[in-house]
Structure 1
Amino acid sequence: MSVQRVSTDSISSLPDEVLGKVLSLLPTKQAASTSVLSKRWRNLLSLVDSLDLSDDATATGDPRGFPDFVDKTLALLRNSSIIKRFSLRCEHTHDASRVDNWIRTVLERRSFSELHLESEYIHVIETKSFASDTLVKMRKKKMMMMIVFLGLVHRVTDRCGDACVCVAKEEEVCCLSTCQVKVLKVSGYRGTRRELNQMKHFLGNLKCLETVKVGVEVENHREDKNVNKNYQRITNALTKLPIASSNPFLLIYPLCN
């Protein structure tokens, strides 16, 4: 008993900045739960610089309560100026406007630089009136999630600049052209026409890309010639896409299922 008490007191006596770093390494749900330990931990969540949010039942219990948890967490951190990383994993469907608001909320922070999104369902995310000049790393898992950056060049747009109310259509200004994203990671890529068009759009407009990693989803049959041919077809199509940035590192690798 005495050993446990000493250990607990030792952790609690650490500086706020150190405890904030420790909490940043935990899933946000777990980090938030530490606020009930004692008064010492009550307000430490505001010191985290990384948010890791998942509606996985093992992490949150009832996924129906996940949106409320995210809303409350972001409200608690509304005055935080140190959030650098935001990870959102959704295994269930949620109201698109709420998901959009979560992403817009973190992208509006000047300290923000890294975005991770994962979804089992199609989400078209439309975020308005924000600038993300500090965003340098973006990761998408499941190509069916569409990430739309709005307000980088103009205020309102749809499908990453394909339709904008404030720019004449003949100008064809794409909001991604000024985006500072340097790293793009995609997993679960299957090489469909829609996915290929989306990759073409990103690679053709993200001028600051330095690294592109694409995990191609293939059947786990290494001896199947058709599987190998399909993987080669997908790889060839990706390597032929025009790239706006100069000499980025492109890595394409198989993901067996």
Structure 2
Amino acid sequence: MRDSISSLPDEILGKILSLVPTKVAASTSVLSKRWRNLLSLVDSLCFDESMVVYPNEEEAENGSQRFSDFVEKTLALLHNSPAIKTFSLCRVVMTKSYEDENARVNRWIWTAMEKGLLELHLYAPTRVGSDLWIELEPRLLRSNTLVKLTIAGHYNIYDTPNVYFPALRSLYLMLLALDLDRFGEILDACPVLEELTIRYGDYYSDVAVISVGTVVEHASIKRLVIVTDLPDHADYYVSSEYFDIAIDTVRFQAPSLVYLDYSSFVYQEYDVDDLDSLVEARLSLKLWMSTSHYDYDDNYYYVYDGSLPDVDDPSPPIFGDVTGLVAAIRNITTLHLSPDSLEVFHFCCKSMPMFNNLLNLSIESNKQNGWQVMPLLLKSCPILQTLLFKGIVHKVTNRCGDACVCSPRQKKRKMMVVKKKKEECCLRTCRVKVLEISDYGGRRPELKQMRHFLGNLECLETVKVGVDPDKNSEFVRANLMTLPKLSSKCTIQFI
């Protein structure tokens, strides 16, 4: 049979080998004489030790040495390579021969950088019980060609002086320790930076990690992603003597910012300049403590057991203030909010701005968080066109308002009730044309909520509903189709 692939030009074969894992590319050298020297044409290298599974610790140590030998031999074969564009290294930090290991990794990186590297991606996951870090040499943090840089895990750049990346446009950092002053120096060393991602890993024992990177000041950044992976409960931080460190002020100054993805616990204050260029924001903000005992009714005033509440011993205020952050993003056209963000907007935003340009609003919902802020939020979006819900089941509270039909369970205790004047339903003034519901299960509370939407949104033209085909979808669809619609133009589509 004719070997069509081998007859391709060397340049094409080099591109093909650059698209497969480096281990696979290197193995092709044994196919025939035609393939023996093609590895030198590879311009993208990816070495990933984390994908290697060892049966025991002794085998892991020997395997690690074999992995090192493979990297060494591959780089040696590429000594005549004209250029290396991308270099990715996922190296498990070893507990033995640390100094040799550290020098070896630095040598590998430098070998690639000498070839005019454009992208460098470094990962160092740590084995359980190991606190060893890879210390990057100063020369590795200076490059006139590098465009993308990723440093994640147990890499230490804390003591590296004279960082300089004049061509860097994309920076991804996931580090355990990096103080704010040092972080500012790194940003200043990247004058044309456009994409910045800061991710804090699952390192809950180190409280200081929360405050790292909370000051972002840069003129050219267009895309900013800050993600904090934190536990469900923050009681440890609240009771810790380091709590003041963890809740310091957040500072954003990025006049060119177009996209913001921000995930974190709520801070004490947000000092944010007007983000006039911002188009889309994705917020996942979380309160430090549970607010279940703060659920007081806006329309009813409860007095339990026939006695007046103790005004001298009020509940402590909810910590955090996102007013500055919310005001700074008021000109966006697309907003995504997590379930926790809804409660943060309700408890920690002193005044809701008018989102006069907002066209698309995406809400994620769950059973643990209420919709207290929904009426105010919808009234603050005068030209909203598309409203998307990922699930419409939410926590029943006294403050959900007229955006939904849920009502709090009847209190068993004796109470006095003073009713307030009922206001017009916020959905009546909402100009939404497209309503999309995903994760719709068709349960009774969901059906009631859909009836509420269809019966009050008078500008609706399209309703898209995502129904699980395995959950009696035909019955669920039939129920939805029988609901009355206020808008005569409204059609229901199932996705």
Q: TM-score, normalised by structure 2?
A: 0.38
Is 2:113 the counterpart of 1:107?
Answer: yes
Match of 1:238 in 2: 213
C-alpha distance in 2 between matches for 1:135 and 1:76: 23
2:67 aligned with 1:79: no
Q: Secondary structure at the match of 1:195?
A: coil
State the number of aligned residues: 209
User: Which of 225, 230, 235 is 1:251 aligned to?
Assistant: 225
CA distance in 2, matches of 1:98, 1:124: 11
Please tell me whether residue 44 in structure 1 is matched to residue 27 in structure 2. Answer: no
Q: CA offset at residue 63 of structure 1?
A: 1.9
In structure 1, the partner of 2:134 is: 123
CA shift, 1:129, in A, is 9.1
Corresponding residue for residue 69 of structure 1: 70
Summarize the alignment of residues 181-196 of structure 1 with structure 2, pairs less than 5 Å apart. Answer: 181-187=168-174, 194-196=177-179
Structure 2 distance, partners of 1:66, 1:89, is 11
Equivalent-residue separation in structure 1 for 2:35 and 2:191 (angstroms): 43
The residue matched to 1:30 in structure 2 has which SS? Answer: helix
Q: In structure 2, the residue corresponding to 1:78 is in which secondary structure?
A: coil
Structure 2 equivalent of residue 96 of structure 1: 102
| 8 A Cα contact 2:93 2:134, kept in partner | no
For 1:55 and 1:218, locate their aligned partners in 2 and report how far apart those are by CA, in whole Å: 21
Letter in 2 for 1:85: T
Distance 1:254 1:175, change over 3 A: closer
**Larger displacement relative to structure 2 (71-80 or 130-139):** 130-139
Q: Does the 8 A contact of 2:196 with 2:221 survive in 1?
A: no
CA distance in structure 2 between the partners assigned to 1:238 and 1:113 by the alignment: 25
CA contact (8 A) 2:17 2:42 kept: yes
Distance, in Å, in 2 between the alignment partners of 1:218 and 1:87 is 22
- The answer for unaligned runs of 5 or more in structure 1 is 149-158, 162-173, 220-226
From 17, 33, 55, the equivalent of 1:23 is 17
Aligned to 1:207: 191
> Which whole-Å deviations, capped at 9, do the CAs of 1:79-135 have from their partners, x for residues lacking one?
21221010010124261111111111111123x211000002411111549962111
State the distance in 2 between where 1:43 and 1:89 align.
26
Shift of 1:42: 0.5
Distance 1:179 1:67 in 2: 32
Q: Which residue of 1 aligns with 2:457?
A: none
Contact 1:87/1:116, CA 8 A, preserved across alignment: yes
Greater shift in the superposed pair: 199-208 or 114-123: 199-208
Which protein has the bigger helix share? 1
Quote the residue 1:180 is aligned against: 167
Question: Hey, what's the Cα distance between the residues in 1 that align with 2:140 and 2:202?
Answer: 39
Provide the alpha-carbon RMSD of the alignment. Answer: 3.1
SS for the counterpart of 1:56 is: helix
Is the CA contact (8 Å cut-off) linking 1:55 and 1:92 kept in structure 2?
Answer: no
Contact 2:22 2:47 in 1 (8 A): yes
Q: Percent identity?
A: 39
Displacement of 1:242 in angstroms is 4.5
Using the alignment, how far apart are the partners of 2:224 and 2:25 within structure 1?
Answer: 35
The CA distance in 2 between the partners of 1:90 and 1:98, in whole Å, is: 11
Deviations 1:160-196 (A, max 9, x none): 32xxxxxxxxxxxx332x5422100134x5xx6x234
- The separation in 2 between residues aligned to 1:34 and 1:128, in whole angstroms, is 34
Match of 2:50 in 1: 56
**Kept after mapping to 2: 8 A contact 1:205/1:244:** no
- Unmatched segments (≥5 aa) in structure 2: 55-59, 127-132, 232-495
1:126-172 superposed Cα distances (whole Å, 9 cap, x missing partner)? 15499621111101222x31248xxxxxxxxxx332xxxxxxxxxxx
Is the alpha carbon distance of 1:37 and 1:83 closer, same or farther for their aligned partners in structure 2, counting shifts above 3 Å?
same
**In structure 2, the residue corresponding to 1:10 is in which secondary structure?**
coil
Is residue 118–residue 140 contact of structure 1 (8 Å, CA) maintained in 2? yes
Partners of 2:140 and 2:186 lie apart in 1 by 20
Measure, in 2, the Cα distance between the counterparts of 1:66 and 1:204: 37
* Larger radius of gyration between Structure 1 and Structure 2: 2
